[in-house]
Structure 1
């Protein structure tokens, strides 16, 4: 059965979501709630874009690994014997058992079901009792590989082995992050992802929405960063991400009851850096919330039209984790950050309910929502390109 969203008119209608901020309207609600559209989105976005999986610092030694899931694909990220970062499927190529869970250090990945053995580079080195199987060769049954790139200390993977490199497409985003030296920033292993019952785009939009900040979060934990001080720098053509700058009422502001940095600030910040926060997004998976002494990173893991999970981690300046009372100070910061986050999670849940309504709008934007326009432009270009490609390769009957 052809879904109603797969029409030329539907995809053409998305153009209104990419107009200038004074004229643009939000994406069709079906983009957030329709299961068939999410399946389309997998090919349009997730099969070809760079997906963040975590920090390179989580893999300091040969044999270190962790597992992660994107679009329900279980993956292994590890450091192999050549000290390179590898990304591969966690699915045993025998019967589908997962060969790794959680994180750790290992010499090989051994399937617990039938003891097929994979090296750190994913090659199959052992397959017991397969000697009577016709035309069986271990070299043909390696764990499927993904492309890997490191940017600002974050590991990104791509299912498309022919994908263009990520870093050259982030000149503007990188410029605004340069003084924080994210590749040197330090932080612990984050907790396991939490699951949420709303579309991943609802979360990504919220992560970089300046319009709601002094309304939903009004109070001492957030008033020092007013919405009216939002700025939206122009991005380069084909930029793979975007940023929102938000001025603060005083230098070295931080999300805690004191409204001031209590950890060592990043050492190379300018006065301009110290009087603003930076919100950076690399769709479809990474959001950064950056203040003078702390960076919170949010990694989104899309699962279905109405569900995703999110990893929350933090980074601080080099050496900060060894300063006196560090854990007390970080707990002080994170308690406030999580209080703000809980307010966001409540409205995100209800936004998803509204997007399923017959009365769901294609709403108009405030100038303080220009980050949503930047996300729309990134999305619609890929949606329309994939739609045209689908029509060319697999003719789809138009809905009547």
Structure 2
């Protein structure tokens, strides 16, 4: 096996993906297939960046909690008795048993193995039969705690205790989607998250690819949002997110057989916003697809170099559920969305197969793929910062 050494020289080889879209080329295939590169990303991105883990209304009452995981880390998110949302590792600090699974309501988290008990804030509060253990300080054995920040009703965590706040680096995205008032939107919470056999970046790229819209999705369910009307606002690579806009052929276009909004339009939208779809992204975990009457959110949670789980949910204007036909209209929208998504998933799976091929190359971009270069810049900026202060990661490449 060859050795893949991820150091400053390797990251410098990615510079051609940082160029303007007219000159840029795609990332190397091994960035999507290599276990070693995935291990690098876990340290360079996922343990340092803000990760979306769910919605605040998933834990509406004190004592409510849910569990999730990303890059192999089991996580608990809970609302304590004071109404504050906390996030922590689910790994018992005794023998590594998970102290919680699924979702529910609890006064504390009791490890089922040996009954070590932890508060809703993650503090160790119960330790049976530990009185003979020498120099045991229970204050040092709480569940590892993560920083928490709420943004537009989404819960973000950061495993880095020194991480800078999220919101100040999301000003452009926050202003662009303010009319949706997502903090107060009605949430249709996702069910069980399936696992998909492709790299998390393949998913992120496809969701922001304006180039394929008029080709892969050609037909009456999607033709109102042509690729030629895509635009890509400038974004600083140091920012926490970026945008893609896509003009529509008529106002209040939406993904259903009528091509028009079936649910109430978000009341805060301007005329300009009602004549486009907005794609808002907070890598590496949150992507939003926004039309006048509906927002689809995707929460990406990698499980390996070539696999991920994804929570997919829907947000609507607060008064949408007052309509007696709300559920039926939602069913119509979801049936249409599933047809479009099935096309995307088929492509994602086959792209991943192609990336493993010896004939996979670093390709070139169309102007309609401006969001891909924005994503590349977001990634490479962080890779550069990481290798400045971290020893090279060397391992056997596949």
Q: Under TM normalisation by the shorter chain, which class is it?
A: over 0.9
Other-structure match for 1:55? 55
> Are residues 139 and 289 of structure 1, via their aligned partners in 2, closer, same or farther at CA, if it must alter by over 3 Å?
same
Q: In the alignment, what sits opposite 1:232?
A: 232
CA contact (8 A) 1:262 1:293 kept: yes
SS at match of 2:284: coil
**Secondary structure of the residue that 1:215 maps to in structure 2?**
coil
Q: Measured at CA, do residues 396 and 91 of structure 1 come closer, stay the same or move farther in structure 2, by a change above 3 Å?
A: closer
Q: Are positions 1:81 and 2:81 aligned together?
A: yes
2:173, 2:349 → 1: CA distance?
Answer: 29
Show the counterpart of 1:221. 221
What secondary structure sits across from 1:360 in the alignment?
Answer: coil
Whole-angstrom distance in 1 between the partners of 2:231 and 2:5: 34
How large is the Cα RMSD of the aligned pairs? 1.7
Q: What CA distance in whole angstroms lies between the structure 2 residues aligned with 1:185 and 1:387?
A: 40
Q: Distance in 1 between matches of 2:283 and 2:64?
A: 27
Partner of 1:304: 304
Structure 1 residue 3 displacement after superposition: 2.7
Residues 110 and 118 of structure 1 are in contact (CA less than 8 Å); yes or no, is this contact kept in structure 2?
Answer: yes
- 8 A contact 1:171–1:236 mirrored in 2: no
- Aligned CA distance change for structure 1 residues 132 and 282 (closer, same or farther; 3 Å): same
Residue 281 of structure 1 deviates from its aligned partner by 1.0
Cα offset for 1:36?
0.6
- SS of match in other structure, 1:214: coil
Measured in 1, the distance between the counterparts of 2:4 and 2:138 equals: 45
> TM-score when scaled to structure 2?
0.97
Q: Deviation digits for residues 249-307 of structure 1, max 9, x if unmatched?
A: 11111001111111111011111111100011111000000000000000000111111
Distance 1:263 1:398, change over 3 A: closer
| 1:34 matches 2:34 | yes
TM-score of the two chains, using structure 1 as the length reference: 0.96
**Is the CA contact 2:7–2:387 (under 8 Å) kept in the aligned structure 1?**
no
Alignment of 1:367-382 (within 5 A): 367-382=367-382
Q: What are the residue-to-residue correspondences of 1:117-266 with 2, within 5 Å?
A: 117-236=117-236, 238-266=238-266
User: Are 2:276 and 1:276 equivalent residues in the alignment?
Assistant: yes
Runs of 4+ in 1 over 4 A off after TM superposition: 394-399
8 Å Cα contact 2:3/2:394 also seen in 1: no
Q: Decide whether aligned partners of structure 1 residues 24 and 78 sit closer, same or farther in structure 2, where only a CA change above 3 A counts.
A: same
Q: Does structure 2 conserve the Cα–Cα contact (< 8 Å) formed by 1:3 and 1:36?
A: no
User: Secondary structure at 1:327's aligned position in 2?
Assistant: helix
Question: Deviation at 1:8?
Answer: 4.7
**Structure-2 separation of matches of 1:398 and 1:338:** 39
Indicate if the aligned counterparts of 1:42 and 1:71 stay in contact, CA closer than 8 A.
yes
CA contact (8 A) 1:5 1:37 kept: no
Question: Matched residue of 1:259: which SS?
Answer: coil
Per-residue CA deviation, residues 100-144 of structure 1 (Å, 9 max, x unaligned), is: 111111111111111111111111111111111111222121111
Whether the aligned pair in 2 keeps the contact of 1:6 and 1:398 (CA below 8 Å) is no
Q: 1:205, 1:196 → 2: CA distance?
A: 15
Instruction: Please give the alpha-carbon distance, in whole angstroms, between the structure 2 residues aligned to 1:323 and 1:14.
Output: 51
Checking the alignment, whether the CA contact within 8 Å between 2:6 and 2:393 is kept in structure 1 is no
Please tell me whether the aligned partners of residues 281 and 288 of structure 1 are also in contact (alpha carbons under 8 angstroms). yes
CA distance in 2, matches of 1:252, 1:211: 22
- C-alpha distance after superposition, 1:73-111 (max 9, x if no partner): 000001012211100011111111111111111111111
Is the aligned partner of 1:106 residue 2:106?
yes
Contact 1:293 1:316 (C-alpha < 8 Å) held by counterparts: yes
User: CA–CA distance in 2 between the matches of 1:20 and 1:286?
Assistant: 24
Instruction: State whether residues 50 and 156 of structure 1, in contact with CA within 8 Å, keep that contact through their aligned partners in structure 2.
Output: yes
